[in-house]
Amino acid sequence: MGNPMRKIAREVLKAYADHWPVYSRLIPVHDIKTWSIKWDMQELLTIAKALRIKTAHPFWQPFATHQAVFLGSQFFLLSDHWFSTPNRIGTAYFHGKPGTGYPEFDQLYKKIQQNHQKIDRIQVSHSEMHEVILETGIAPEKVFRIPIGINLDFFPLKKQETRQKVRSQLKIPEAAVVIGSFQKDGNGHGEGLEPKAIKGPDIFLKTVQRLKNSVPELHILLTGPARGYMKRGLTDLNIPFTHVHLKNYPEISRIYHALDMYMVTSRQEGGPKAILESMASGVPLVTTRVGQAMDLVQHGLNGWMVPVEDVDALAYWAEWVLKNPSTVALTVNQARKTAEQNSYRQLIDKWGLLLNGFVQSTPHN
């Protein structure tokens, strides 16, 4: 009974979608387990609405043909299904340099090399990945550099009273010097005891080990799943930490208000989102030269940026930031301006260029 009814329902839904004019709907696709990509695609829907582009909920993707499907992650392309669909296909491609020791990156890159004629649009978030993608042979006019933006409605500047309130809620001592790390850096979806090397959790631990002697009040604030490797490492170093489990992405904004500094120690990145989130929140940022940090961070002007895996430089600038609050205040103000310049609202025109010709203009009801 169930199977025949399901088949009828699919046929009805497909018949409805078949009445849409060709390529008239933008359909974003995301993994429901990954809230980061989910929120990116929700922002894309908002941008499309501002551009008066018709959209359809991801629910419709299996039933729609000859529409414009945009994949929130390049890793969807590991499935050959997308190269045989009658839909136009666009995708975000934030990170994954081939030849860096990650087989899935090599496999994905080869897929694009072999199928780039079937891909209509690629969004890259930074200049390094832009160059990497062009080397696949894809037509340059299909590739658009658009950073992972930020919704400033979620990220107000921190204030002294909010700092005290959040620390009280999290039971973090007022005198603690708090460094944030808000990302998934363990493999899998479990405890995460095996480190995800690309995220540099080992580099983070080596850096805070250096800081421990010069910053005795050091406290690490973590969010995100699969942080077992980091938590075990901090325990072994006898560095206190707090791990906050969040239910919804916007909740992370208040967690930034408890920080004295945010640190990115990754080896490769597409963003990370924390670059603009910390800038918007008024939290000093020390980062390796990864992802869109290389395009957005100007060392000493709106943040501090060092070479990948340079523990000495990370520790030096982290300590400098923590011990020079008056100078840092000027940098934080400039960082907020950088975040404002890269809000989703400010990126509408860039997205308009990508979507032009990908989705056909039709009278908007």
Q: What is the mean pLDDT of each run of 10 residues along the chain (365 residues)?
A: 72 88 96 78 96 95 95 94 95 94 94 97 97 97 98 95 96 97 92 95 98 96 96 98 92 96 97 97 98 98 98 98 93 98 98 97 53
CA–CA separation, 128 and 108 (whole Å): 17
Of residues 126, 49, 56, the one with CA closest to residue 92:
126
96 burial level (CB within 10 Å; 0-12, 13-18, 19+): buried
Q: Which pLDDT belongs to residue 2? A: 55
pLDDT of residue 34: 61
Specify the 3-state DSSP secondary structure of 112: helix
H helices within 200-273, ranges in order? 201-214, 228-236, 252-256
pLDDT at residue 82, rounded to an integer: 94
The DSSP element (H or E) to which 349 belongs, if any, is helix 348-355
CA distance 267 to 291: 9
pTM: 0.94
| Largest Cα span, the chain | 71
In the chain, what are the domains?
Answer: 2-149+345-355 (3.40.50), 160-341 (3.40.50.2000)
Cβ atoms of residues 327 and 334 within 8 Å: no
In Å, how far are 16, 324, 331, 340 from 347, measured between CA atoms? 33, 33, 23, 10
What gap in Å lies between CA 269 and CA 290, rounded to an integer? 6
Q: Which residues are CB-neighbours of 224 under 8 A, at least 6 positions away?
A: 182, 183, 184, 185
Nearest-10 crossing angle of helices 348-355, 35-50: 80
**pLDDT at res. 266:** 98
Supply the pLDDT for residue 364.
45
**Inter-residue contact 343 to 152 (CB < 8 Å):** yes
d(CA 352, CA 345): 12
Q: Which residues contact 148 (CB under 8 A, 6 or more apart)?
A: 40, 94, 125, 270, 271, 273, 276, 292
Q: Which two tokens stand for residue 87?
A: 């839909």
Q: How many Å apart are CA 207 and CA 220, to the nearest integer? A: 12
| C-beta separation of 26 from 55 below 8 A | yes
Cβ neighbours, 10 Å, residue 336: 17
Half-sphere exposure of residue 21, counting CA atoms within 13 Å on the CB side? 10
pLDDT of the residue at 93: 96
CB within 8 Å of 338: residues ≥ 6 apart: 276, 279, 296, 302
On whether the CB atoms of residues 221 and 178 are closer than 8 A, the answer is: yes
Dihedral over alpha carbons 201, 205, 210, 216 (to 10 degrees)? 130
